[in-house]
Amino acid sequence: MKLNVKEFLDSGPSSLDQLLKMYYFHYNLLLLVVLSVHTVVFYCEGQNLVAFIMLGILLFLSMLTMIIYRLEYQVLKYFLNYYMIVKTIFLYGILFLFWKKAPEIILFFALLPLGTYNLYRFRALVLSTLIIGVFLIFFTIIPQSFFPVLINESALEFSKFKILFTFLVVALFFIFYNSKITEKKFIVRNSFTDGPQYAFTSVAEDTNDVLEKNTEMYNEIYKKIIDYLDHQMPWKKHDYSIQDLSYNFGINTTYISRAISINTGMNFKNLINSYRINYIKEEIKVNYPKYTLMYIYMTAGFKHQSTFNRAFKQIENKTPSEFIKSIEPESYALYE
């Protein structure tokens, strides 16, 4: 089977990022619709306090949805942890308010791992699920008298129906999008992780043809990586790793390493550090000493001074202070 490079590019990170952004956006639209219906129903039932609380949540969610619509996924993903923390706290608040009459709300916590299945690594997913479980156990052992009563007895059965119906709708939404995201990742991974056969058009091809097609594949991967690093600048995150790049592209780390090595002779870490050092050099020329060197190297992705000094020396064959001195020896304060 011949590798279709165009198919790989079309299924690359930009396409996956767009799908993930739509996942965020459509999920918040769904919540807006659901909460709007609940707010109207609560108001019609005469439960004005609950309707007022829901209206406040609705207004906040409307602003959040507008922000999500305007931002790219590469920006949105940095807020994912905060978003999940706020949402979990919100769920705990709702559970506290309605626990006495409608403990079925606990079902919505099952949606958290389902909704984040394709957004976090498995270890983080398990850890967050365990933490949620511990807090839910804590809720079950608190005396019932501790919880308020916000639902009228007359509306109790209908409220339980609303909870179950909402759970089903959101769960189906998550299942639908998880299948689409998983399929998108599989298409890209399957083009590379099945091995060398993707470099062949027929078994009878000679070695030169095979090597040429393998080289073409790695060159295309490398071009896409460089374009991504140039424009998205993920290396500004101090903990950005080859696993993150693998996730961004949906490609095995082995193929990424080979593509970088074949085209540059460097490994992933050295490539990332070269981007950081080049960025730092330009910042020094323009903004030093307006900004301290510590600020500059931290914004470039270095967390520790020793790591920065070592990488700079390795790439430039001089220390940061020697580089600064060579640019403007009299006007720059030396940095050690």
Instruction: Give residue-wise pLDDT tens across range 48-91.
Output: 887 888 888 889 888 888 888 888 776 777 788 888 888 888 88
Q: What pLDDT, on the 0 to 100 scale, is given for residue 273?
A: 94
Angle between helices 13-44 and 242-249 (to 10 degrees): 80
The torsion defined by the Cα of 37, 43, 49 and 55, in degrees rounded to 10, comes to 40
Q: What pLDDT, on the 0 to 100 scale, is given for residue 18?
A: 77
As a whole number, mean pLDDT of residues 154-174 equals: 82
Q: What pLDDT, on the 0 to 100 scale, is given for residue 309?
A: 93
CA distance 190 to 310: 38
Q: What pLDDT, on the 0 to 100 scale, is given for residue 212?
A: 52
Question: For the whole model, what pTM was predicted?
Answer: 0.55
Band of pLDDT at residue 199, cut at 50, 70 and 90:
very low
Give the number of C-alpha atoms closer than 13 A to the C-alpha of residue 326, restricted to the C-beta side: 9
Classify residue 2 by its DSSP letter: B
> In the chain, pLDDT over 70 holds for what percent of residues?
82
Check whether 95 has a pLDDT greater than 50. Answer: yes
